[in-house]
Amino acid sequence: MSSFVANEEEIRNFLCRPNMKKQDGIMFAYVTSAEKLAEVVPKPLKVVAPVIMGYVTHMGDPTFAAPYDEAVLYAFVSYQDKIMGAYPFVLYLSGEGAEEAMIAGREGACMPKKLADDIKIERSENKVQAKIIRHGTEILNLKWEAGVPNDIETVKKMFGSQVKLGEPSEMASFFINYDIEQQDDGSNKFVNTELIATQSTGLTTDMEMGKIDMKLTSSEDDPLAELEVLKPVGGAHYEMDYSVMHKTLKLDSLNPEEIAPYLITGHYDRTFVTKQD
C-alpha cells in the first residue's frame, strides 16, 4: 500500500539507474537538408553530418514503467569536439507504460517527450512497418525490409560505429535542462537553462540490416516534415538486452532568451503558445 509520505527505501530507489530492458524495434537513418539541420540544432552543439537517425521500438521490460512503445528522431552532434552523441528533437510514446515513461524522461532529464495516440509496429517474416499517429494524423510511416540497405557503406559507418553485438556500448544524448518561472505580468519564461548530456550503457544482442522507405507528415503540433527525407540511408531490426542511464553531465549554462525557441515544440503543443484575450 502506498502513502502520500514515502519511506526511506522508496526515496533511495526513486528513478535509480533507469533501465530500458528488452528492446525490439527498427532503427533508421536518412539524409536531410544541411541548411535546415543547422537551423534546428542549437549552439553550442555542432552537427556532425546532414543525417537524421532514430528508432521505433517496443520497450518490453523498463524498470520505471510498464511496457510501452517509443519513437525518436535525432541529429548526430558534437560538443566542443569532445563529446559526440544524439540530439533528439522529440520522442513519442504510447502503450501501457507511456505516461510513466514520459514523466520519467521529462522530469528526470528534461527530454522532449510527448504522448502519441498510437505507435504501431507490424512485423512479418522479413518486413516491418511502423507508424506514429498523433492527434489523428499519421506523422510517421516507416517501412523496413531485410536485405541490402539503401546506402550500405553509410549504414556500416553509422550503425557499426555505435553498436557492437554482444558488447556493452557507451552512448550520449544531449538535452536542454530548464525551469519555468512565472513573471509579474503573468507570463512564463524559461530560466536556469543549461546543456546536459546523459550517458547510457547498452547491450545490443541482435541486428539485421535492411532498406527503408519513409514518409514524414507535419501537423499543427508536430512539424516532422521539417526534417525532410532527401535520401533514405537504411535501417536495421535490432534487439537490446538493456540500456541503462547511469550519469548526467552538466556541460554549459545557456542564455534563456537565446535557447527558448528550441524548447517549446518538442515538449509542448500549440495550445501553450496561443495568444489569450
Task: Summarize pLDDT for 70-108 with one digit per residue, the tens.
Answer: 999 999 999 999 999 999 999 999 999 999 999 999 999
**Distance in angstroms (rounded) separating the CA atoms of residues 221 and 25:** 25
**CA distance to 8, 29, 96, 99, 108, per residue, from 104 (Å):** 20, 26, 14, 9, 5
Q: Return mean pLDDT, the chain.
A: 96
74 by Cβ neighbours in 10 Å (0-12 / 13-18 / 19+) ranks as buried
Q: What is the pLDDT of residue 125?
A: 87
- Indicate the SS3 state at residue 39: helix
Give 262-277 pLDDT, tens digit per residue. Answer: 999 999 999 999 877 6
Q: Provide mean pLDDT across the span 26-43.
A: 98
Q: What is the pLDDT of residue 155?
A: 82
Q: Provide mean pLDDT across the span 248-268.
A: 98
Q: Which residues of 141-158 are buried (b: 16+ CB within 10 A; e: fewer)?
A: bbbbbeeebbbeebbeeb
% of residues, the chain, pLDDT over 90: 92
Domains and CATH numbers, the chain: 18-168+202-245 (2.40.400.10)
Q: Provide mean pLDDT across the span 226-255.
A: 97
Give 110-133 pLDDT, tens digit per residue. Answer: 999 999 999 999 999 899 999 999
